[in-house]
């Protein structure tokens, strides 16, 4: 489960003599995945955004927010409680 949201910073920055935007991608996922998976996710998202938008990789920001299962509700019930049913 997770949501991906993308935004660009409001300012423009110069990169190699041209104007570039800084994509910021926020991914919200349930906590509990191994650090290696998070690292891989960040790398793959960066590669994809660079390829699709033509942004330099060093301008791309990826934020992974891990949400505790007790803080993620579906149908009015925290996932942590729904798992125990």
Give 68's DSSP letter. P
- CA–CA dist 40, 44 (Å, integer): 6
Active site residue 23: yes
Active-site option among 23, 34, 68, 78: 23
Distance of CA 82 to the CA centre of its chain: 25
What are the φ/ψ torsions at residue 34 (nearest 5 degrees)? Answer: -65, 150
- Positive or negative, the CA dihedral 72, 73, 74, 77 is positive
Give catalytic residues, as residue numbers.
23
């Amino acid at each position: 489960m997770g949501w991906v949201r993308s935004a660009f910073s409001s300012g423009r920055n110069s990169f190699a003599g041209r104007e570039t935007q800084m994509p910021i991608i926020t991914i919200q996922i349930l906590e509990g995945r191994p650090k290696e998976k998070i690292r891989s996710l960040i790398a793959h998202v960066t590669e994809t955004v660079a390829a699709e938008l033509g942004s330099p990789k060093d301008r791309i920001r990826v934020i992974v927010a891990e949400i505790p299962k007790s803080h993620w509700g579906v149908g009015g019930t925290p996932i942590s409680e729904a798992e125990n049913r």
